[in-house]
Amino acid sequence: MKAVVLLSGGLDSTVCMAVAAAAGCELLPISFDYQQRHNRELACARLVAEYYRVENHLVITTNMAAIGGSALTDAAIAVPAGDVTRHDIPATYVPARNLIFLSYALGYAEKSGADRIYIGVNALDYSGYPDCRPEFIRLFQQLADYSTKAAVQDGRRIAVETPLIDLSKKDIVLLGTKLGAPLHLTTSCYAGGEAACGQCDSCLLRLKGFSEAGLTDPVKYSGRP
């Protein structure tokens, strides 16, 4: 049983990797160098892949900075101050990112004979991104069922798995800890420094999750020993 795992190097995608591993899947992680403003998350993704001793970690190079429109791809757009109560779509939203990433993952799954794609989208403790919602995943699944030779000719459906979609960040931390996920190798910070900033949306949500789980985040933060 093979599973393509979208692996960003962050907390959620790494816990997804752990879930796929616990299900007995042969792991086929796929990561993206999309010309984001920093490459720390990609370095973390490589470390996570090495931790799980995967035979093939596919890294796709694309250029979403050419499209722009996001604080994660355009240095002229400031990363906003963190707000764990935010429900509007922030400047860190990357236009159509999950749609593009899932499309690559679907092609990779079809070519590799995988019958599952794992993606760590979350609809509870998240930053308001439209492509993290259950509605988006449901519609992409319908598209996948009609857009591959595997499904149309061979009757081989490739399922999009979202094991974290209804979990709080606390529950994701607890699940990752239970499964032995290498959370110490991950990054969630939008700033991309060696030490996490502790101030952006992603850092605040992550810290909130660890605090509510009664655990200490194992990664380094600015101003914290």
What structural domains does the chain harbor? 2-212 (3.40.50.620)
Among candidates 68, 80, 169, 156, which has minimal Cα distance to 113? Answer: 156
- Helix H segments across 92-214? 97-112, 134-147, 149-152, 169-178, 201-212
pTM passes above 0.75: yes
The stretches in the chain having pLDDT less than 50 are none
- 79-90 pLDDT, tens digit per residue, is 887 776 767 788
- 87-132 pLDDT, tens digit per residue, is 778 888 999 999 999 999 999 999 999 999 999 999 876 667 899 9
Among candidates 29, 168, 31, which has minimal Cα distance to 101? Answer: 31
